[in-house]
A and B are shown apart, each in its own frame.
Chain A
C-alpha cells in the first residue's frame, strides 16, 4: 500500500465477512535463520468466527510464524492472503491496516502511560492534537460491547495481568482488527481470569472475529477453547486436527513425536529437619510497595516446597530476599539455624545456599564470558580455587569439562561463549554450577521457564535427584502443573501473602487456582 492509499483507508475498516469465510490464508511460508529453518513450507488458514489454535513447543517455529503473520518479519518464501487478496507486509502497520491485531505474551504496553494513551498510540483517529474525549467514548463503547470493564485513565502498571491483556485486545479491536493473533493468552493468568477471557472470546467469535491462539503446552486450554488445532514441530506442520477429535495425549504426540509423561515419578523421601526457616518476613519491591507481607514458612531437608502464583505477586521479591539480593524490611531468615536475615549473598553461598535465578541471561550468566568464566561465578570465592588472590584456572577448567559431560551440555568445549548456547543448555550449566556445590538449600526460581520439553524434563529430574540427596528445595514456578507434580507442599501466593500451605496430596487444582487468584484463604497448614 502506498502512503496515499493508507491515508484514505478508513481507520476502522468494515470488511463484510460471513461466518465461515476464510479470512486469512498462508501458503508455503518459509523462513531461514543461520543454521536453522524456523518455518518450513507452512500452510495455514482461518475462517471468520473460528478459533484455530497453533500448538508447538519452544523452538518449534511458532514465534517466527506469528511474527510473519503480523509483519514483524519477512518470510523468505510463501504467500499470505487476507480476505482473499494477496498481501505483502513490510511492517506491522501494514498488517494492522488489513485488520490483523496481535495480543503479545509480554504485554506490549507502556506501563508509564494510561490505558487510553496505550490504546490510541499510533492510531490515526488520535489526530495531531490528541482528541482524548472522542476516543474515550468510542473505546468505552467497545468495552460495553465485549463485556470489558476498565478505567481508561488508570496507568497500565497499576493493572493486573488479565486487565493488561484486555488493554491489548482493545487496542487491536480499536484499530479495526478482524483477525486476532493471541500469543500464549493464558500463561500469565490465574484460573478465574482465564474464565473471564474465555467468555470474552465467545462474544468476539460470535461477532465473526477470527482468533488464532499460539500455545506452548497448556493442552487443556487448547481443548477447551479452539475449534481446530494445527501442530508445529521443528518448523513443519505435523498435524491438523479438529479439536473435538483430539485428546491431550494425541496432541502431545504430535508436538513432541513421542510419548510424554505428564506426571513425574513421585519420589518419596523422609523429610528431615528444617533447613530454611522464615519468620514474619516483609519486604518492599522496587516501586516502593510492600511486596511481602508477614510471610512465615519453613523448608525441610528432602522436601520440595512449591510456591504457586501468577507473576507479580511477590515471588520474585521473596527469591531475591532469600538469596541475599534484596534488603529485608522486617522478619527473620534462618539457614540451618543461623540467622542470615541481613547476610550478603556471598555469605549465603558460603553457608550452603544455592540460587538458580529466573533470568538466565542477565543474572545467571554473562553472555560474553566463556563457560569456564561463567562457572567461576559461583566458585571464585572458594579457597579451593584460588591461592594468594590468583585463580586456579586449571581446576576450574576441569570442573567445567566435568559439568559439560555429566550434564550433557551440547557445546564444542569449555571456552565457548555463553551467548552461543541455547536456553536449555545454558540452564544446564547454571544448574550444574549450583548443584555441584552440594548446597543444603536450593532456591529454584522459574527453573524451566522458556525451555523446551526435553530440557524441562531434565531440570525437573535434577531437582528430584537433589531432593533425594537430602537438599531442601524452594521451588517458585508460574506453571501450576509443574508445582503440583514436583512439590511435597504447595503454598499459593497472592499479593505478597501465602493463601495457605497445603500438602500436595490434599491439594486440588481448583482450590490452588482459586487461592492464586486471591479468592480463597486457608489457614496455614504444617
Chain B
C-alpha cells in the first residue's frame, strides 16, 4: 500500500518484548475508553467530565475507594482463575459458575455450624472462617474439575461445558436461596440468609483480608509459572499439546489440574464477594450480575498477557472503572449498564489489538526511480 512517497507494509514479528506487549495493552485500553466516550456523548454527557467523575469517585472518594478495592479483589481473583487454565491453552469461562459454587460451599459450612439459626456459634470464628474458605475452594474446585476431567479424558470442548455449568450452578443457587431452599434468607425476598456478625470477614486497613489473599495468590502464581516444574509443564502443554505428550507431560492430568486450581480460585472469589465484602454477607438477589462481572477476569487475563503480577494494576483499574461507572450512571443519568458496555468494548478492542502482537506496520521510503 502506498501513501505518498512511503510504502506501508505489514511484516510479521518474530518476537514481542515485554515493553511492546505492555504498550499494546495500554493502547488497547485507551482506545476502548475513547470508544466508550461515544456512549457518553449519546447520553449527552461530556466524556471528559464523565471520566473525571468516574476516576475521582473510584479512587479519591472515601466511600468510593473501598468499593473499588473490593471490586478489584474480585476481578483479580477471577483473573487468576482464568489465567491458570489459559496457560494450559484452555478457556475457563466458567468462573461465574465456579464462584457461585464457591459461595454455596462457604455458606454451606456456615449453615452446618448453625449460622443460619442463631448468631451464637459453638465454634470460634477463627475456625469457622478458614473452614468457610475451604468450603468455597472445594465448591469451586468441584465444579471446575468437571470441564477439566472431561477435557483430559475425552477432549470435550471446555468452552461449552463451562458455559453449561454456569447456567446449571446459577439455577442451583436460585434453588438454594429461593423457593424453599435451605439457604433462604428470612425476608422472603429471594436472597440468601445473612451471616452472623461473628463470622464477618476480618478487616485489614479498612478492607476485607481477602486483599492479602488475592495479592499473595497473584505473586505465588507468578512464581509457579516462571520457576516451578509444574508451571513449565502447564505452559508447555498450553503451547503445544503434541510436543508436551512427546515430552512425557500427561494430557489428562494437566487439564484436570488447571481447572481444579482455576475453580478453586474462583470459589474464593465467591467467598470474597458474598461473605467478605462489608455490607453484604449473604448471597444477594442480584448474584447473577456478579457472575456477569466475572467476565472481566477474561479481559484482565488477556490484557495482562496472562501475567498475574501485571494483572494487579489492571484489575485495580477495572475495579475503579466499573465501580465509578455504576456511580456515574446514577449521577449523570446515563443508562443502566455502563460497566457492561465497557466490558464489551474493551474485549473487542483487545481482540483487535491481538493483531499487533503478530504484525508490525513498516514504513519504507520508496527509492526514487533514477
Q: Write the residues of chain A forming the contact surface with B, with a CB cutoff of 8 angstroms.
A: 34, 323-325, 344-347, 349, 355, 357, 359, 362-366, 368-369, 373, 376-378, 380-381, 386, 389-391, 393, 417, 419-420
Contact = CB atoms under 8 A, between A and B. Distances in A.
15 contacts: A345-B246, A346-B248, A346-B249, A357-B246, A362-B243, A363-B242, A363-B245, A364-B246, A369-B239, A376-B232, A380-B229, A380-B232, A381-B248, A389-B228, A391-B232
A362 B243 CA distance: 6
A377 B236 contact: yes
B248 A344 contact: yes
A323 B15 CA distance: 33
A376 B15 CA distance: 20
B247 A377 contact: yes
Nearest to B248: A346
Nearest to A348: B248
Q: Of residues B228, B232, B239, B246, which shows the largest number of chain A Cβ atoms within 10 Å of its Cβ?
A: B246
Contacts of A323: 246
B250 to A, nearest CB: 8
Contacts of B228: 389-391
Interface string B243-262: 10111111000000000000
Given A346-B249, A380-B232, 13 more contacts: A345-B248, A363-B240, A363-B246, A366-B236, A366-B240, A369-B236, A373-B236, A377-B247, A389-B228, A391-B228, A391-B229, A417-B14, A417-B15
Interface string B220-246: 000000011110110010011011011
Interface of B: 11, 14-15, 227-230, 232-233, 236, 239-240, 242-243, 245-250
A373 B23 CA distance: 26
A362 B14 CA distance: 18
B234 to A, nearest CB: 12
B15 A389 contact: no
Contacts of B239: 366, 368-369
A373 B14 CA distance: 17
Contact of A325 (B227, B229, B240, B245): B245
Nearest to B16: A368
A391 B232 CA distance: 9
A122 B240 CA distance: 35
A335 B236 CA distance: 28
B246 A390 contact: no
Contacts of A420: 14
Contacts of A349: 248
Nearest to B245: A325
Contacts of B227: 390-391, 393
Contacts of B250: 344, 346
A364 B229 contact: no
Contacts of B236: 366, 369, 373, 377
B246 A389 contact: no
B336 to A, nearest CB: 43
Nearest to A417: B15
Contacts of A391: 227-229, 232
Contacts of B242: 359, 362-363
Contact of A377 (B11, B14, B230, B246): B246
A87 B33 CA distance: 51
Contacts of B240: 362-363, 366
A22 B210 CA distance: 81
A291 to B, nearest CB: 18
A325 B246 contact: yes
Contacts of A34: 11
Contacts of A380: 229, 232-233, 247
A397 to B, nearest CB: 14
A364 B243 contact: yes
Nearest to A379: B247
A453 to B, nearest CB: 27
Contacts of B230: 389
Contacts of A359: 242
Contact of A365 (B229, B243, B248): B243
A432 to B, nearest CB: 15
A419 B228 CA distance: 24
Contacts of B245: 325, 345, 363
A386 B229 contact: yes
- What 7 A-B pairs come out closest when comparing CB atoms? A346-B248, A377-B247, A345-B248, A363-B246, A366-B239, A386-B229, A366-B240
A72 B242 CA distance: 30
Contacts of A347: 248
Contacts of A364: 243, 246
B232 to A, nearest CB: 6
Contacts of B11: 34
A392 to B, nearest CB: 10
A363 B245 CA distance: 8
B246 A355 contact: yes
A377 B229 contact: no
Nearest to A349: B248
B13 to A, nearest CB: 11
Contacts of A419: 14
A297 to B, nearest CB: 23
A205 B71 CA distance: 77
Contacts of A355: 246
A381 B228 CA distance: 12
A345 B244 CA distance: 11
A378 B246 CA distance: 9
A369 B242 CA distance: 14
A364 B247 CA distance: 8
A20 B44 CA distance: 79
B233 to A, nearest CB: 7
Most A CB contacts (10 A, CB to CB) among B232, B233, B248, B249 go to B248
A205 B250 CA distance: 55
A18 to B, nearest CB: 41
Nearest to B15: A417
Nearest to B247: A377
A373 B232 contact: yes
Given A366-B236, A389-B229, A378 B247 contact: yes
Contacts of B243: 362-366, 377
Nearest to A325: B245
Contacts of B233: 380
B305 to A, nearest CB: 13
Nearest to A344: B248
Contacts of B247: 345, 377-378, 380
Contacts of A357: 246
A324 B242 CA distance: 13
Contacts of B248: 324, 344-347, 349, 381
B274 to A, nearest CB: 34
A362 B240 CA distance: 7
A349 B245 CA distance: 12
Contacts of A362: 240, 242-243
Nearest to A362: B242
